[in-house]
Structure 1
Amino acid sequence: MYRRRGEILQVLQDETGKVGADAQIELTMTLHHLDWAAHHAHRVLRPRRVAPGMLMLDHRASVERRPFGVVGVIGPWNYPIYTPMGSVSYALAAGNVVVLKPSEHAPRAGRWLADTFRDASGLDAVLQAIPGGPEAGEALCEAGVDKLAFTGSARTGARVMATCAAHLTPVVMELGGKDAAIVAADADLSSAADAIMWGATMNSGQSCAGIERVYVVDDVAEPFTAIMAERAGRLRAGVDYGQMTVPAQVEIVRRHIHAAIADGGVAVVGGPHSVRPPYIDPVVLLDVPEMSTAVTEETFGPTVTITVVPDIETAISRANAVDYGLGAAVFSRRRGREIARRLDVGMVSINDVVSFGAVPGLPFGGRGGSGFGRIHGAEGLREFTSPVSVSERRRVYLPTRVDSHRRRPWDLPVLRACLHIVGAR
């Protein structure tokens, strides 16, 4: 993949409209995770000895991890190599074969992955790509794969789960997000604004773990908002980030901007005029009511809402109020970990945004409406294997034995003594 990087960088820009920097970031992170999975699979998945316990001292016990067999992966269009390879890399390293259904909006990227693997390995059937739209994804779910990993919207994910449930196929669901950033009074406001604007507009805002909501305490709200406006005002779609990949997504972003303003929010940067398909310039919205669709639904575009709150308690409460639970960000010099532990999400960055996605040893995934299961890291390797428990009787004489109908008079009293020992603990 590295040797052919010129090919895939061009494919990413052609198919999705990314700027060169976003394509390079995606490829770099993809290779980083691929390398981690390859080098850590043996350590994470090798058989593990387990202590047999007091009652089974004449046994050896161990847990083995075995691959499922055939893993199906349905990938998205926003990160057409990084996101599916978060499943593909770990599934392959765990010993599975993979059938990848790339997004119909980025089919060349999926085919490139399969072709590159085939050319590198000489193996035709280990990683295959099947192009097509929703019908191809449905066919993959119906095909009898041993496990399926899906990335996409909650609505589509529910349909995928229903189809897989009919076959009792286990699934990994990486669904949408409405990630929040909390800015405390002791935050470095300049650094926070830089990170949040990056998190809101990277990849044109088409990131499930991008920042869409900001809760800033009243003490620093005015200077923070001013810095955010200044940073956003310097960004331009088509220069600092690329175009929107899917026309239908442009209309969702347009609808959310109109809803935010109609519900009483104020556009401090941009507004409805920022939507100029296929581009959308940055939009910063202030004090949008919490019931607005711009706050409750995933926007998936280069927009962000800023809400002023009286204290951190209110910020935490509002950050947790949506149905999604993917990621979050906290900006505080002294209270970062304390605040992070109270957020109902699967991942948190402290004094940064989305950094958890670039650390290959960290599991990636959410809670609630953002799905379940994990990719990346040791948990990602285990996700694509199933545990097999093995117990083996050794040739060791024990003075008592209760797992037999040929028990001796003292066997049950010894068992009762063991029961008392365990109960006393």
Structure 2
Amino acid sequence: MTSVLPEQSTVRESFESLNPATDEVVGTHPVHSREDVEAAVSKAHEAAVWWEALGYAGRAERLRRWKGVLTRRLAQLAEVVRAETGKPTGDAQLEAVLAIEHIDWAARNARKVLGRKHRAPGLLLSNNDATVEYQPYGVVGVIGPWNYPVYTPLGSVTYALAAGNAVVFKPSEYTPGVGQWLVDTFAEVVPEYPVLQQVTGFGTTGDALVRSEVNKIAFTGSTATGKKIMAAASERLTPVVIEAGGKDPMLVDADADLDAAADATVWGAFSNAGQTCIGVERVYVHERVHDEFVAKVLDKTKDIRGGADSRAQYGPMTMRSQIEVVRSHITDALARGGRALAGGLEAVGDRCVQPTVLVDVPEESSAVREETFGPTVTIAKVRDMEEAIAKANDTVYGLGSTVFSHSRGTEIARRLRTGATAINAPLAFAGIASLPFGGVGDSGFGRIHGPEGLREFARPKAIARQRFPAPLALTSFTRSDKTEQLVSKAMAILHGRK
């Protein structure tokens, strides 16, 4: 497949992507310079004009063809993801399947969400026809993560494309091969113009993209990096959508299905080696069921193992430096009086971290306060759900959350300060294409997915068209005293009643 890159590129540097399980070289990719990025963005502006002109139907047809390619080559895509992230093929397939669902939803719903709609003009300007429509920004720069290198960036890429934008995508330096595979397959169904391009490299390449003449930036990654991106984007007043970290809680009420809650905890905490921004990192359990719940979690955890072999339920840590973060959080939790009922410091290896269940961990511990991004979970006993809600909300983050309760699930969910909540199932909101995804606080702002995700990549355009001259000339220097008196009486009748 032909790489969609700037033709004028004068790249001198390159870097290798590695299989985190073996350090085997998966691929070699260019380090794109500021000039390369600017050339790509320039081409994207030209492509955006053509892409927008296709209209909703034309873009939907291309997006449907793209999802068809991804579906037919699902096994190939899963293998590329597995090679660069180390995750099991089944997990790689799962994130690709979810991404395909989002492509389908965005293609089918873009016109309905973003197309022209009439608005009521009001009595005083009833001689006008009022409409609003959403127009694409032009070029969107997307900076993606390594933990879900298909599902997460396509949550921005897909919706930006459906809204009529061209996209320049900068993947993580850990997963450039996945990004290139996506870009190349898109070019097969859209060969006319470079509507979707990729630039690769490290922080300097991402910085160049943010400072280029893109019209919007969509970023997924750490809160610290998100703040830097916002600062850089502010120089050109480039709008941004930030999906940053999380310290996501699960609340288990006294009437919860404990087997289901325990299973959701184990999956939410340990799948993808815990490298999930909406993964379960801390659990608050009603005191009446705490001990039984912990026993069920431990029973389900004993059969879970991380490793590089085909029998492992999850793979190695993709970013090796994250292992030290996990180690430090476990160390701090134990030093403060916490206990490891499964795993612990001995679970932290050179490449993999085995499942770790911590209890009696003080709330001020880094294992509770900071994003661990590894296969660990803290479980705390609470006297009731009021205490659970207070502790769950006592964080700078606010991305996802989970509630297990038969009678109060919705009530509890609405009181959690997070962008999304799943009730009686793990992370369900992430798989529903019609629901918006995003956080509050240090978890970022803006939304991808759903109608809100489409609107995130388009600007509202209001149009008022006069259908016939107004009986009362309000916006003219010919306005008379009589007109002003009539307006005053009309307003008193319409709005002045007690």
Q: TM-score range by the shorter chain?
A: over 0.9
In structure 2, the residue matched to 1:368 is 441
Return the offset for 1:412.
0.7
Return the offset for 1:396.
5.0
Find 1:265's aligned residue among 310, 325, 338. 338
Q: Could you say what secondary structure the match of 2:496 adopts?
A: helix
**2:120 corresponds to 1:58:** no
Find 2:464's aligned residue among 391, 396, 402. 391
Contact 1:347 1:356 in 2 (8 A): yes
In structure 2, the residue matched to 1:318 is 391
Q: Could you say what secondary structure the match of 1:267 adopts?
A: strand
Find 1:73's aligned residue among 116, 122, 142. 142
Q: Deviations over 1:111-144 (max 9, x none)?
A: 1111110012213410000011111100001111
Structure 2: which 5+ runs fail to align? 1-69
Opposite residue 417 of structure 1, the aligned amino acid is K
Opposite residue 359 of structure 2, the aligned amino acid is L
**2:379 corresponds to 1:339:** no
In structure 1, the residue matched to 2:195 is 126
Distance 2:134 2:497 in 1: 34
Q: Deviations over 1:178-227 (max 9, x none)?
A: 00000000001111000111110111110000000000011111100110
Opposite residue 416 of structure 1, the aligned amino acid is S
What is the identity percentage for the equivalent residue pairs of Structure 1 and Structure 2?
Answer: 50
Q: How does 1:10-21 map to 2 (within 5 A)?
A: 10-21=79-90
Find 2:484's aligned residue among 407, 412, 416. 412
235-244 or 118-127, larger mean C-alpha shift: 118-127
Distance 1:417 1:7 in 2: 72
Distance 2:87 2:76 in 1: 14
Find 2:426's aligned residue among 353, 363, 366. 353
**2:166 corresponds to 1:106:** no
Opposite residue 20 of structure 1, the aligned amino acid is T
In structure 2, the residue matched to 1:2 is 71
Distance 2:242 2:278 in 1: 14
In structure 1, the residue matched to 2:185 is 116
Distance 1:29 1:210 in 2: 16
Q: Could you say what secondary structure the match of 2:72 adopts?
A: coil
Find 2:282's aligned residue among 209, 213, 222. 213
Q: Could you say what secondary structure the match of 2:260 adopts?
A: helix
Distance 1:114 1:345 in 2: 32
TM-score normalised according to structure 1 size: 0.98
Contact 2:136 2:457 in 1 (8 A): yes
Find 1:87's aligned residue among 142, 156, 160. 156
Q: Could you say what secondary structure the match of 1:325 adopts?
A: coil
In structure 2, the residue matched to 1:154 is 223
Return the offset for 1:422.
2.0
Opposite residue 381 of structure 1, the aligned amino acid is L
Return the offset for 1:397.
5.4
Contact 2:125 2:470 in 1 (8 A): no
Contact 1:328 1:353 in 2 (8 A): no
Distance 1:423 1:84 in 2: 52
Contact 1:90 1:381 in 2 (8 A): yes
**2:306 corresponds to 1:237:** yes
Q: Deviations over 1:280-337 (max 9, x none)?
A: 1110000100000000000001100000011111000000001000010000000000
Find 2:475's aligned residue among 403, 409, 425. 403
Contact 2:286 2:383 in 1 (8 A): yes
Opposite residue 71 of structure 1, the aligned amino acid is V
Opposite residue 413 of structure 1, the aligned amino acid is Q
Contact 2:75 2:93 in 1 (8 A): no
Q: Deviations over 1:366-424 (max 9, x none)?
A: 000100000000000000000011001112552x2222111234211111123212233
Opposite residue 418 of structure 2, the aligned amino acid is V
What do you get for the CA RMSD once the two structures are aligned? 1.0
Distance 2:411 2:115 in 1: 35
Return the offset for 1:81.
1.0
TM-score normalised according to structure 2 size: 0.84
Q: Deviations over 1:19-57 (max 9, x none)?
A: 011101111001010110011101111101000001101
Distance 2:480 2:298 in 1: 82
Contact 2:340 2:358 in 1 (8 A): yes
Opposite residue 100 of structure 1, the aligned amino acid is F
**Is the alpha carbon distance of 1:205 and 1:123 closer, same or farther for their aligned partners in structure 2, counting shifts above 3 Å?**
farther
Return the offset for 1:166.
0.8
Return the offset for 1:275.
1.1
Find 1:136's aligned residue among 205, 216, 221. 205
Q: How does 1:17-32 map to 2 (within 5 A)?
A: 17-32=86-101
Contact 1:214 1:304 in 2 (8 A): yes
Contact 2:413 2:423 in 1 (8 A): yes
Return the offset for 1:103.
0.2
Distance 1:418 1:403 in 2: 17
Distance 1:389 1:317 in 2: 42
